[in-house]
Structure 1
């Protein structure tokens, strides 16, 4: 049978991926760019006379820096293949744009969509069993991935968090950002001293595919991985559960404990929830000041605010502080509100195209809607923020930047005695940011969501 000829992509990035696949793997017979915040492609190539479904995992953009690069991520896939852990096989790396080319595994994500209760339970139980298998692999198995090997309780606790904070300090370029400065100080003051076992950990836990028979076809997405405390992966599942429900997380932790013999106290879960949420903040808040054109700015802002809210909530739960929500902002229009409504309407009227082009158009419309909410509520939010900083520092500042600088200096000298005040302060700020983000894009549900608790057992 003759190979179907596809029209060449018109987008420059698409064309580079298409050409590399044809030159290095085989004729491309299907090619679709995913409509999402990060570039990725579902493709089929012809290899040895048979169709080979592939997924091409693209870059996050030039201004995003990760503690695990894509070459290390690809090597993690190879380690799993060598040790019988189900995961996509890597077929190669595209140098420009930097992409991982891997098998397209059969199956679906989001076990919450499984209608049959018994099948749903089987899938989740199998995933936990595979996680326990991964945690039994010796750290030496990951030597080729060049992951730092932690030895002390401090290194085990911070093996992903410390390099992420270092990236943050470089990327934030001296800008005061007391929210994340406080988070880093708190993590360092609260190292779990009794955790001495290091394993491979996918901090963005809970990501897998499953088929109709209830079998897990593979683990996916290892870009936020390290060698560290296995409890961190269970904590990360709380974040995944926010968009892809995993059921009763307390029961899943209990199942893991039975399989592994490890004991995971609630306060340990809260520590690593705060830690992984801080990683998201360390890596993404700098993008709010230096973004690349291909990045979905508003999606990242929703992630920043949402994960930072969860970080502060986890710290508050760890130290036993009950947070109180601040009053909602009041509308104080800065200028002509119709201008933003007109801009949204104008963008939404642009003609459609591919799924990826439609996504870009809709993202622009959501961004314009967000700017309209800033126009409506920004003055009220700024006034409340300045008043909160004054209550902490005793000084009234005329603008937000100078207030941030003063708060940063205050945080730098504060110790554990100020934790209760600071978690309430940052909770106030994040609640106001979440209010402005209401209705602003598909990810806007995240800043308003609270994570499922994992209870004491």
Structure 2
């Protein structure tokens, strides 16, 4: 039985619209469930009033889910947090543990700082506990404007319900949910809860951090079937959003760095020739075409690294030297030195702001290197919708 199956059963028992589960298939392992009518992406609703109603009805269902007793999910066997810290970090801590194991001792100061920041900024006044779908904002609706059911519960946990509202910001980056500030205020009216902007920013940083914890190790040890550049886009974009959420939480003003300088390491034509060669290969089925396009995207990215990589690396090393006062011998020494500095000085006055700005600069440069590379290249232009205070 997968995690999702008892969640579906719990929803069915309590009248929460979701696909009913009829059984399991062992090989291949999959769930046999009801096919609900409807479609995703409420941005496709032409009528503005109907669009608003669908989104508000969805938030009303989420409010009902958050009001369910915790013991309704006993069969799911999710860990039950008790303290404010456990509630805030219940999804983030296991992800960080996976990262620590998979990164294998390699210094990766970006995510080391992320975990330090999260543990030091836990909302101490939040003790509300509910079932939370961190990958929130997913539902089906029909042409009549009725929400037919919630979907996709793989990233579920018990935690602060505000975390699910924060996760909707990521969903909104690809499937628009409208005015998120208005939806949060609607949720407050329905529940009586108070969701501050800082609370949203904390959990935005946390959920974006989950993506970083789970995906950055793939940049150092990937499987052959993985789309390397697509995962690199996800790593950079979600980490950039994480740092932006930290900045908003801490009232740190972010400024973009100057654009990298073109300084080719070798023959720039080599990458262009490889991209042209790959794209000229015969077409196959959809899977083969996807692999071909992925290889072309990787070749294009390597060409941009060849053209701009020296400038990007020099700028980041200079930023680290300016912060730590040490002159690293190379890239690896720079990462190790920054990791040590975070351990020794993390949390001191002014250090969070300095690190937030440093990582913002590095991630913007990495985003520049990924521009135009592959199907996920749209992420280089995407920022999360802000949640505004009244």
TM-score of Structure 1 vs Structure 2, range by shorter chain = over 0.9
Alignment of 1:311-350 (within 5 A): 311-350=242-281
Following the alignment from structure 1 to structure 2, what is the Cα–Cα distance between the partners of residues 243 and 215? 21
> Where do 1:213-362 residues align within 5 Å?
213-362=144-293
Task: Choose the corresponding residue for 1:426, options 359, 362, 378.
Answer: 359
Deviation readout 1:376-412 (Å, 9 max, x if unpaired)? 1111111111111111111111221111011001011
Deviation at 1:445, TM superposition (A): 1.8
User: What is the alpha-carbon root mean square deviation over aligned residues?
Assistant: 1.5
- Asked whether the equivalents of residues 306 and 448 of structure 1 are also in contact (C-alpha less than 8 Å), the reply is no
Residue in 2 aligned with 1:47? none
Given the alignment of the two structures, is residue 188 of structure 1 paired with residue 119 of structure 2, yes or no? yes
Matched, 1:415 2:342: no
Q: Distance in 2 between matches of 1:113 and 1:373?
A: 36
1:161 to 74, 92, 97: 92
Q: 2:102 aligns with which of 130, 147, 171?
A: 171
Moved more, 272-281 or 219-228: 219-228
Whether 1:450 and 2:379 are equivalent positions in the alignment is no
Match of 1:201 in 2: 132
- Report the CA distance between 1:132 and its aligned residue: 0.6
Query: Normalising by structure 1, what TM-score?
Result: 0.82
Verify: 1:439 aligned to 2:357, yes or no.
no
Deviation at 1:98, TM superposition (A): 4.5
TM-score, with structure 2 as normaliser: 0.96
Which of 76-85 and 153-162 deviates more? 76-85
How far residue 81 of structure 1 moved from its aligned partner, in angstroms, is 2.4
CA contact (8 A) 1:209 1:220 kept: yes
Q: 1:365 aligns with which of 296, 299, 302?
A: 296
Cα distance per residue 1:134-161 (max 9 Å; x no partner): 1011111111111101111011100001
The answer to whether the Cα contact below 8 Å between 1:231 and 1:268 also exists between their aligned partners in 2 is yes
Distance 2:28 2:178 in 1: 37
Q: Which runs of 5+ in 1 are unaligned?
A: 1-69
Equivalent-residue separation in structure 2 for 1:252 and 1:379 (angstroms): 45
CA distance in 2, matches of 1:232, 1:114: 27
Higher strand share: 1
Kindly state the Cα deviation for residue 214 of structure 1 after the two structures are TM-superposed: 1.1
Q: Which blocks of at least 5 consecutive residues in structure 2 are unaligned? A: none
1:405 has 2:336 as partner? yes
Number of equivalent positions: 388
